[in-house]
Structure 1
Amino acid sequence: MSDDLRDWEFVCTEAELLPGEKKTVWHGDTPILVVNLDGDYYAVEDQCTHEDFELSAGPVDQETGLIECVFHGAKFDLRTGAATCPPAYTPVATFPVKVVDGALWTRDNR
């Protein structure tokens, strides 16, 4: 692994994450959800800020870029992390996604 990827977590190859698909990886104790929105990759903490429930269980709307928590219906913008409707008011953390030689990488950069 090159030095510039030392603190990054391998997600998968681009071919393994088609538009509309999502994958969760762990960076230490942080679950990170990576989503392909029509060829653009976004990563957010895989945890609803309203209740401790994984966002990866919910559907992604490709047109709006929103993911819905199936527990109580809160929605979050995958591009910004913003909570877009109650019962969630606090945004989810967002993380960088890097593409290197067709492979996706992410990390908790907080």
Structure 2
Amino acid sequence: MSLVEVCSLDDVPVGSGRAFTIHGHRIAVFRVAEREVYVLDDLCSHDEASLSEGELDTTELCVECPMHGSLFELRTGKPRTLPAFAPVATYRCEIRDDRIFVEFLSKNLTNC
């Protein structure tokens, strides 16, 4: 496993999400509080809409797919509502010196 630097905290304002491409793999970084960040695959498992463009609920810790309204849990990537029924991948992340790092498995990096 390796940690990859994605961005600074300032690149993702509190209460929002933003997409990044790391080693050819598109991820969504969601910042729900000053130093609380979650990272998911950016594409909805139902119809490949960009989750980073969806509405973020910082209280319920979920994001709504902007295309068909499925809600995905930020902690687990599991959908709470239809039409999505398959989860999206989640990634462990760390904040160091106001920089966001995401952990990728070696296989994730070579398959991208």
TM-score range, shorter chain: 0.7 to 0.9
Q: Which portions of structure 1, spanning 4 or more consecutive aligned residues, are displaced by more than 4 angstroms? A: none
Number of aligned residue pairs: give it: 105
CA contact (8 A) 1:50 1:89 kept: yes
Deviations 1:73-106 (A, max 9, x none): 1110011111100000111100111112221111
Q: Which runs of 5+ in 2 are unaligned?
A: none
Q: Counterpart of 2:68?
A: 72
- Three-state SS of the structure 2 residue aligned to 1:8 is strand
Alignment of 1:1-110 (within 5 A): 7-38=2-33, 39-109=35-105, 110=108
- State the TM-score, normalized to the length of structure 2: 0.82
Query: Following TM superposition, by how much is the alpha carbon of 1:21 offset from its aligned partner in structure 2, in angstroms?
Result: 2.1
Q: Which runs of 5+ in 1 are unaligned?
A: none
Query: Following TM superposition, by how much is the alpha carbon of 1:52 offset from its aligned partner in structure 2, in angstroms?
Result: 1.4
Give me the identity figure in percent: 28
Query: Following TM superposition, by how much is the alpha carbon of 1:30 offset from its aligned partner in structure 2, in angstroms?
Result: 1.4
CA contact (8 A) 1:11 1:23 kept: no
